[in-house]
Structure 1
Amino acid sequence: MNRDSQFVAKPFQKIEQRFFVKICGIRDMQIAHVCVDAGADAIGFVLAEGSPRSISLESAIEIQSDLPQTMSSIAVVRNPSPQDLALTTWNGGIQFHGDESIDFVQRARGSSRMIIKAINAGVEEILKWDSTTAIDALLVDGSAAGSGESHDSAWLEQLAALRPKLKKPLILAGGLTPENVGAAIKLVKPAGVDVSSGVEIARGVKDAGLIRAFIAAAREAHDSSARN
């Protein structure tokens, strides 16, 4: 693979330039290119077993190799073994979705690997991970990953109050759809959003129209908030 190391090593450099949108649970080349054409900044490959969106590392690498250099690729893992953690043939970022410790995640970092930690709510947990050097961004998921359950309004208001105090970029996830992502962005003002089940017509089956609608709604909401 001949990919620009700028985007392999630092996929969140682009977050300083514009609002960051990630489509997670990609399993085929066609949908990956829909994400590219629709203006996504990153796609996620679920390497964790037991998900309808799971994909093998080999298949993820094959898709990644066909994408433009401007598209960031993130491997999503859950409580991997030290052997899995090596991912020696993977040159993208890693998103941890399990109960990994800070020390464990720190060992995965390396010199050029972007690390995201998904957190299932809880201000104390968010602040703990925000204070560590083990990660580059926080993904706040209000439910079990990819379940489609959304944050409640009280929790979104808590996040809105917490976000300015965080050192790291906050990516909002959990139950987002083309219909509700705009309101969530305007309230919380996150650095980016992540969606999986919210752009599916069945579990694990992404829909091109929903992907385009989600990205358009997210961009419009962010641009509107930036103007106000």
Structure 2
Amino acid sequence: MERVAVTRYVTPLREGGSLPGIVEADDLGTYVCKFRGAGQGTRVLVAEVVVAGIARLLDVPTPEQVVLDLDPEIARYEADEEVQDLINASAGLNLGIDFLPGSFGYDPTSEPDADLAGRVLWLDAFTANVDRSWRNPNLLVWRGTLQAIDHGASLYFHHSWPGGPGDPARFAAQPYDASEHILGGYAGQAAAQDGHLAARLTDDALAAVLADVCDDWLEPVPGAESADALRERYVAFLAARRDGDRAWLPTARAAS
């Protein structure tokens, strides 16, 4: 991903628990900054990049991303002590997500494109995203197009890796509960597209997605002490889910 330097912290976004912020960068872009120093740590940044990359392979619109180089000196100009602490804890490389001016939250009473809604549901089921519910849709509408955002609650399996390498087969067989998903009613469309969506996620395509993840965010774990070894582990888990028996694929009954 492109790497740019943060030039100004604009304002916090207090909707979520991690306190992302709007920042400006030296490419004249405006971004939502997901901070490495937030409580969830860098694995959330990895999930954001990986799932956004998979989304693009599936033709699910999602904002573009950059790597934000953050100088803690910026904290000196912030009056909010919580923001100061977060910036100071996040010196170095953070994740920037393109700020979409004029976008607005998805209205659950509206009807999106059915095939796109099915692809979003398939994406979330495949990556085990637990955070796209009626309470928190994490969907925007920008220039008439649905945009999937906030993927950090996906790929739960990597949070257990510090205790051991984990088992890709276990992730492959893990069911997905679509009963609270805001697009759960499109399970039929997700199932109808299953074959050709899975076919897009070749091992090479998944490896290319993982190549976008900064080495700096890939924390060594037992059995995978290097960034490349961790990338291979992610590909193994995702490939196992792709090739498994589809216990995770939402059904109309699960979504009702």
Q: Normalising by structure 2, what TM-score?
A: 0.27
Q: Normalising by structure 1, what TM-score?
A: 0.30
Larger-gyration structure (1/2): 2
